Amino acid sequence: MANLLAKSRIVFLNPMLATGKRLSYYSVQPVRIAKLIESWFDSIIATGSYQMDLGSLVLSEGIPIVSMPSTRIPLLSHLFYSLGERYHHFDDIIRTLRPDCLVCTEDLSYSSLQAVNYKLKSGLPVIVYTGLYTYNGFPLGLPHVCFANSYGRRVYKHASAYVAKTSAAARLLARFGSPMNKVRIIPPTIDMTRFKPVKAPSWLSQFGNSDRLNILFVGLLRRNKNPVGLLEAFESVRRSYNLRLIMLIRDGPERNRVSKSIRELNLESDVLVLRNVPPKDLPGLYSIADLLVSPSYIEIFGMNILEALSCGTPVVCTPTAGSSDIVEHKHNGILTSGFSIDALTEAIDTLLSDDLLFKEITANARQSLYGRFDSKTVASKWRAVLSHAICDEEV
């Protein structure tokens, strides 16, 4: 097997690696996976992005990127595979790249169907990497449409292997007809050499040296992230524990509602809103936080939870797909009993009211990631899946 796998070539298909000049957060995943496996495999990213100025992250990582010219019908591409994104001369481009395996990193793309069709014609191994939106175990939104037609069923039955980011995504694959002997769960990884307990930069240190406890929220201001619910829960417990809420945000549709809630709840002096924190300062921000709260209704995964735990910061999370895999209740964090404001308030109070539990969870936070989410572990899992696919063995 070693000779057969020696620097095999992996092509990652990512239809929209970037929108405009901004990298999609989850589209960075193929770059990260490629870096994890680069000692064993050569990697190329093939993208249908209109904008090929993909920013310093991709360029600095040194992963080759090729463009696969495409046409797109903006509205219908989100409704029908058959009328959606079509890569021209797909087969010719793949033959030119001469891969030993294709990895589809956007499973709801028409390119995934073309990859599976190519696999059925040529025998080239195809791996589908998926993280599906779920709420209480049920698929949401776009997956309902995509999996209701023959194209979706074809993708989820005929690939060589399926890599799910979470246990919930793996269960949904079974519902959609994927053979479970071909499904493996491999979560995103965290760079624990970067995200670790550190001294905060000078501009942040003032918040870490006060007698107030810092609750941290990190996320986009969208309804599924539930920032307004967090503000209401925070208002209920803030005086009991002398709390400050630090919100590291990216603007979104909930911006006006969040601003209105801060005013109506009289939280102006207790909520610090941050934007555009330099990436190098993120570990310092997590380190001054006494607690990260992730109040989301829906998450594919939840990288902010991994980042906080890696910096030694305990977490309180709603039971989304990702957090349910990451957080061990009362070991490295607290999982709420549901998605209501009362459940969130109760979970925060449970952790802050019990000094012994708080110290125990804090001590376990970083250690709980080893063997599950560290780069070495995740790289080993990817190597195994890719090796078995290329050698035509059971995953």
Q: Which residue has the tokens 């219908």?
A: 76
Q: Is residue 196 part of a domain?
A: no
CATH assignment of the domain containing 310? 3.40.50.2000
Do 385 and 121 form a contact (C-beta atoms < 8 A)?
A: no
Do 382 and 36 form a contact (C-beta atoms < 8 A)?
A: yes
Q: Is residue 85 part of a domain?
A: yes
Whether 72 and 208 map to the same domain: the answer is: no
Whether 211 and 289 map to the same domain: the answer is: yes
Whether 66 and 28 map to the same domain: the answer is: yes
Whether 39 and 96 map to the same domain: the answer is: yes
Whether 326 and 260 map to the same domain: the answer is: yes
- Annotate 243-286 with DSSP letters as a single string: EEEEEEEE--TTHHHHHHHHHHTT-TTTEEEE----GGGHHHHH
Whether 220 and 319 map to the same domain: the answer is: yes
Whether 30 and 174 map to the same domain: the answer is: yes
Alpha helices in the chain (DSSP H): 2-5, 29-36, 55-61, 90-97, 110-122, 142-147, 150-158, 167-175, 202-208, 227-241, 255-264, 282-288, 303-310, 321-326, 341-352, 355-365, 375-390
Q: Is residue 310 part of a domain?
A: yes
Q: Is residue 113 part of a domain?
A: yes
Q: Is residue 195 part of a domain?
A: no
pLDDT tens digit at each of 395 positions of the chain:
545 556 799 998 876 554 444 455 555 777 788 889 988 999 888 876 544 444 444 544 677 777 765 544 344 444 444 444 445 577 888 888 899 999 988 766 777 888 998 999 999 999 999 876 544 444 455 554 454 455 677 888 899 999 999 998 898 888 888 899 999 999 999 999 999 999 888 888 777 777 889 999 999 899 999 999 999 999 999 989 999 999 999 888 999 999 999 999 999 999 999 988 888 999 999 999 999 999 999 888 899 999 999 999 999 999 998 899 999 999 999 999 999 999 999 999 999 999 999 999 999 999 999 999 999 999 999 999 999 999 876 65
End-to-end CA distance of the chain: 14
Whether 175 and 263 map to the same domain: the answer is: no
Do 373 and 145 form a contact (C-beta atoms < 8 A)?
A: no
Whether 41 and 153 map to the same domain: the answer is: yes
Q: Is residue 194 part of a domain?
A: no
Range of the domain at 226: 202-369
Q: Is residue 197 part of a domain?
A: no
Do 333 and 309 form a contact (C-beta atoms < 8 A)?
A: yes
Do 285 and 222 form a contact (C-beta atoms < 8 A)?
A: no
Which residues, at least 6 apart from 19, have a Cβ–Cβ distance to it below 8 Å?
Answer: 49, 51
Whether 330 and 356 map to the same domain: the answer is: yes
Question: To 10 degrees, what angle do helices 110-122 and 150-158 make?
Answer: 50
In order of 134, 165, 168, 187, 298, the CA distances from 131 in angstroms are 9, 5, 9, 9, 12
Q: Per the structure, how many domains does the chain have?
A: 2
Distinct helix (H) and strand (E) counts, the chain? 17, 19
Whether 128 and 61 map to the same domain: the answer is: yes
Q: Is residue 395 part of a domain?
A: no
Whether 55 and 146 map to the same domain: the answer is: yes
Quote the pTM value: 0.86
